[in-house]
Structure 1
């Protein structure tokens, strides 16, 4: 049974009270002040739980961040009638203050970081009966701060680093992305030291040592620190943290039926037990809106969909039985789904035309529409991703021959031949192996919010020639300007209000 980590309204009042100007702050007799709070172990626990609540906000994993990570990549796109929303998935950035396109994600990212900083500043002063319990709370805050800075660096790159609780008068300085990566590394390494190897069943959803190492591998790989990434990944594959395994049923990674399974390294806990908004009230939802916005027409809002090249990619290689890769069935909706797999999902609605839609996380296994309250957990990192990453770092460190076995583990689950049998032309050639690995990651991880960071890491956004290749499968990249669109513009309102923050020069 999954544990939904929730918060109390009392703590939220404290978090926001500390960020008000003295002249504007009004005394609320029912709300504790910062000075009255942060006294007990339960205060500390409530404080760290409030950080998890940020996963349920509009700018982050409840809704809009998927538009930046999935639809901006070559896997997805938007033809939403909301033109400005669609434009922000095809590099037509006109209004840098577009709320849904980026400003709300910036706001909620720094809101989450603020909550982390509150814990890290105040919890050390609280007396605990067991000092290890205090260390675990501080380690969670460091992990979550690193997580939010990681995605901010992927999206904007050069951003302010804020490590103490903010005040309205603060004007934090902008830092180069290399400094952001360094802070993420520091937080994760310190978090790893004090996180447990695993949590009890009643604490499911909190990061453990394996999650910290997995995110360390991600940040090292984005910097092409291959040796460091290799060491981090080995903790999960052959080291003390080698307790993960691929589940036999691929789709078990994308429903609420088999969550927090052996393949899960870190996943966001969603639930449909509260049907409120995304505000700070006690009835605020702890759900995901992704399925509602990415569902096919008449099932949801249909603002985001998948590129058809993914369907064709799945069909390039039959499995050992001579049939289609089963991952296609559970990754995408597409016109031939019924013919290919006998899948009658949504019946006659296949009159949508020659279009594809993301299926992972949909609830078609028990209902015929979506809403704002999906309870399906979102797997930020699963073991299949770890195995493919390890293959990548082995290839990058001159061990191409050793890398095959880790790709083969992922392929074996869906009854595909080994990579050497299916693609003997690769041999021990680094470049050919990498090109094939790019496809292996797309087939295994499509629609799981990793493709944008993959494209950046591989350098595929750094030259016109490579961008032109991407544009052949995703026409939106015809709008992509090399040296500009690899990162988002800084929200204009932030640039105007903070003299220590400068808009990226290419904008």
Structure 2
């Protein structure tokens, strides 16, 4: 079964009653469990870890607002939403640091997810299991998920508190540097790897594996430009015991609800449309992805997010091995000439667009319906093997192994019916600078609209100098608002800074 991860709502605060006769008032509520009453059985542990996965379905994380930061703030996307504050947030015009949809809710849901991880890690060790391997894998899942949320939080805000125990409302956690957060992520991932299985049975599809832990480790090292460590982590997946992944024949299968959790998927967020509620903690809360509704063309969805048109032209620069267009373009973007270029679209939508406009197609459901809503069941492939291959090639190139790196780029190009890299671009040779320049292009062509571009720009150092930002401005005028040394990180929500004397606002804000 595809959607197996259900969640339970945990009560995380205790009621204390004080009076002259305290014992008479301290009566257990039969309709609500306290922390002391919970965390007794293996089933409690199962429900506890499942509640962490439920955070993927919240507005602040991968159901909605993460895509606005990861895709629209990069040079691949932008917003002309009539909701001015929302559009401003994607173009570095940060006025209200407490802006809920762009900042506050993602901070809240990130730490809410971390809180649930910490509950599991604090309480499950005391529970007796007949199956100790399952106990250890539950703890490993919590460590993996805590690492995942801290990784993205460190890339968004950088200087944030590290909280490793269940927190209380009165806590005032200390602030840590991005480097300290990344060190904790590394620890969690290494410990998770030891206890995670290499694979799960069909009833547990969607839980992290050893391969997912190594993939996240590799991404972590890549963002720190620790190329040797990244190569070692990826070795497990490329040529080591975890070398079980491969590219699917049909590129489109990575972006629909057909053939999900396939051989290319390293870690995939499981979405479904079986519950049509909101994003609260109610029993009917949705487990859906709302990205398609917000990113769809006008007349189909809200169109709060669009793709930069330079991407369309970029795809058309290099013909495929047959002299035609790169087939990935048709599955990546909606744009006015899509039907004219490829000629066999199955749906005749009533498009509302102007010339030189484009929208992200990945995750859209035009393959079987002609509108979007808040309940997309299409899984989000957070890490897929093509991304790993290209990062591996990048690490090899940075280590002076440029010649060895070609083969991993060619695996990705071959699926797209593109000529081998050396044939199409003989000018690169063994020059690492030219190879990296082309690899940046390869990542756009393969991964456009998959929430990796912002991380790429940070890793490459393109956001660290005005010269680098000026190059981006040529593709995305929103970067005219980008301030070097400031805008590569979000402001910490002002309410957090005001309520916690241990937090200092990020530089420049």
TM-score bracket for this pair, using the shorter chain length: over 0.9
**What is aligned with 2:195?**
194
**What is aligned with 1:499?**
501
Distance 1:51 1:415 in 2: 40
Distance 1:27 1:155, change over 3 A: farther
1:197 counterpart SS class: coil
Q: Is the 8 A contact 1:297 1:352 kept in 2?
A: no
**What is aligned with 1:271?**
272
Structure 1 spans left out of the alignment, 5+ residues: none
Q: How many residues align?
A: 501
**What is aligned with 1:5?**
5
Matching of residues 130-141 of structure 1 within 5 Å: 130-141=131-142
Kindly state the Cα deviation for residue 28 of structure 1 after the two structures are TM-superposed.
Answer: 5.0
1:473 counterpart SS class: coil
Distance 2:68 2:17 in 1: 37
Alpha-carbon RMSD across the aligned residues, in angstroms, is 1.4
Q: Is the 8 A contact 1:314 1:443 kept in 2?
A: yes
**What is aligned with 2:23?**
none
TM-score computed with the length of structure 2 as normaliser? 0.97
**What is aligned with 1:444?**
446
**What is aligned with 1:14?**
11
Matching of residues 220-231 of structure 1 within 5 Å: 220-231=221-232
Structure 1: which 4+ aligned runs deviate by more than 4 Å? 20-23, 25-28
Kindly state the Cα deviation for residue 346 of structure 1 after the two structures are TM-superposed.
Answer: 3.7
Distance 2:275 2:3 in 1: 14
1:33 counterpart SS class: coil
**What is aligned with 1:288?**
289
Q: Is the 8 A contact 1:14 1:37 kept in 2?
A: no
Kindly state the Cα deviation for residue 213 of structure 1 after the two structures are TM-superposed.
Answer: 0.2
1:381 counterpart SS class: strand
Q: 2:359 aligns with which of 354, 357, 360?
A: 357
1:250-309 CA distance string (max 9 Å, x none): 000000011000000000000000000000011000000000000000100100010011
1:279 counterpart SS class: coil
Matching of residues 22-421 of structure 1 within 5 Å: 29-344=30-345, 345-349=347-351, 351-421=353-423
1:160 counterpart SS class: coil
1:265 counterpart SS class: strand
Kindly state the Cα deviation for residue 29 of structure 1 after the two structures are TM-superposed.
Answer: 3.6
Q: Is the 8 A contact 1:76 1:305 kept in 2?
A: yes
Distance 2:337 2:16 in 1: 59
Q: Is the 8 A contact 1:233 1:386 kept in 2?
A: yes
Q: Is the 8 A contact 1:118 1:164 kept in 2?
A: yes
Q: Is the 8 A contact 1:88 1:101 kept in 2?
A: yes
Kindly state the Cα deviation for residue 351 of structure 1 after the two structures are TM-superposed.
Answer: 4.5
Distance 2:47 2:88 in 1: 40
1:408-452 CA distance string (max 9 Å, x none): 000000110000010111111111111110110011000000000
TM-score computed with the length of structure 1 as normaliser? 0.97
Kindly state the Cα deviation for residue 4 of structure 1 after the two structures are TM-superposed.
Answer: 3.2
Q: Is the 8 A contact 1:21 1:168 kept in 2?
A: no
Kindly state the Cα deviation for residue 348 of structure 1 after the two structures are TM-superposed.
Answer: 4.3
Q: Is the 8 A contact 1:335 1:350 kept in 2?
A: no
Higher deviation after alignment, 56-65 or 342-351: 342-351
**What is aligned with 1:474?**
476
Distance 1:29 1:399, change over 3 A: same
Distance 1:428 1:111, change over 3 A: same
Distance 1:411 1:393 in 2: 18
Kindly state the Cα deviation for residue 506 of structure 1 after the two structures are TM-superposed.
Answer: 1.2
2:326 counterpart SS class: coil
Distance 1:343 1:32 in 2: 57
